[in-house]
Chain A
């Protein structure tokens, strides 16, 4: 579903490339987490996979970049919208402002795609249910909490039925309740297996509980790639400038003290309990 080969990208006027000979392949239906230190190129990757690089940000792009069967540099942004979805950090900026109610806001993208009215209603209803907003259809989008707004942004994307959904730190500006809700709904989406999800996140414990695979970006290239527990427990994490979860650190300490075996290190509380038990 996603094929990236030797991707190198430099922002206009920048001294060095933001992505450097990056290669990765994501099969359909996979939930893939991307982590990395600040400046590692995570947002750049998100923009590249959704076509905003190169079409919105310009700059120089080399290498192969194919998502959902489309060659990104050769396809217009307007064509990509609907097939590839993007959710980012700031909930407020993702509300278009062009619609007065939550239901109409979700329908906005579908109207632009020229979908028939009956189908718009169907898709909106199921997207709103999937994100737990079905009781707020008449509310003004600006009357929502930060977490609700972010779920609205996700619902608006889901209604467009993208084959690939890219989320760039969707819970960064949310409190713990908001974060939990977003991950819950993403998990429900992932379980349908119909959408390939690429999620950039910092919250390692959430990633471990929910991603099929973790990619570590460092200075524009791939530093590690594998199942969550393997990657999040390895030393590659620190090499890429990231801090492992406290449970991982505690487990490592336990290993050093000979209190635990060399099993895959835990990342979450549940895994830690199991590890030490």
Chain B
């Protein structure tokens, strides 16, 4: 089955079998930790000692590294160059032509990159190993509104359809040589009028989609049941609470420092 544009990769692994909320708790706590942990090296340590092993356990290590690299490397490059070279009044460490790399800039870039690395990779780990619809169901079982679940899962599934429509516009423009020949103004003038009909036609479908949803009793107030059963255990429940409890502790420790 295809899952819209979600990154989820099905694997037979312990990580995949974990309850979705367990993995979400980990990502949430690591998010807090990214801001609360001291020094630049702790983030890299967490990445190497926690996230990489988990990715390996989930049998998604190559894809994980690829996704992380794709997201973080351009950012890191930009950061090191801009903050490294242009740090005002910094102490030079190396020469790069007329400019010099400043120590403060590099230190800053190192810390920021570490933080982003930790955050991005923990959420990518979650995305790669968790079916978004099951995550939404898990949240709904904890009281998350079903309207929000509907929005998230439906968006994930229909985005490729809209990307396809946009791609068709792009291809049409390319066949007219617009991307290579057209100057900026020409590209804009050709493109913008195509956005309006794209959106208009999409909106007119909305009424029918609403009718279809109502016909499936979506507007019913009473209790709803669920076909999917998520495997969970006492141990995981305890683990979740333990992980989440770390977050405020880290936060306090970070503030005190």
Contacts and interface: CB of A to CB of B under 8 A. Distances in A.
Q: Judge A-B direct contact (beta carbons within 8 Å).
A: yes
B131 A93 contact: no
B213 to A, nearest CB: 6
Interface stretch (A106-114, A224-232, A255-263): A106-114
Nearest to A157: B215
A56 B213 CA distance: 12
Contacts of B91: none
A100 B217 contact: no
B211 A86 contact: yes
A109 to B, nearest CB: 4
Contacts of B149: 98
Interface stretch (B111-119, B168-176, B222-230, B246-254): B222-230
Contacts of A120: 225, 227
A114 B223 contact: yes
A3 interface: no
A160 B154 CA distance: 22
A94 B210 CA distance: 9
B229 to A, nearest CB: 8
Nearest to A119: B225
B216 A81 contact: yes
A104 B228 contact: yes
Contacts of A186: none
* Range of interface residues on B (Cβ < 8 Å): 35 or more
B219 interface: yes
Contacts of A143: 1-2
A248 B144 CA distance: 59
Contacts of A116: 225
B161 interface: yes
Nearest to A121: B227
Nearest to B220: A78
Contacts of A124: 227
For the complex of A and B, the 10 pairs showing the least CB-CB separation, nearest first, are A97-B154, A81-B217, A109-B216, A112-B217, A93-B208, A78-B220, A107-B227, A78-B219, A94-B212, A140-B1
21 contacts: A52-B211, A56-B210, A81-B215, A81-B217, A86-B215, A90-B208, A92-B205, A93-B208, A96-B212, A96-B218, A98-B153, A98-B154, A103-B227, A104-B227, A107-B227, A112-B217, A138-B1, A139-B1, A142-B158, A157-B215, A160-B216
Interface of B: 1-4, 131, 133, 149-150, 153-154, 157-158, 160-161, 205, 208-229
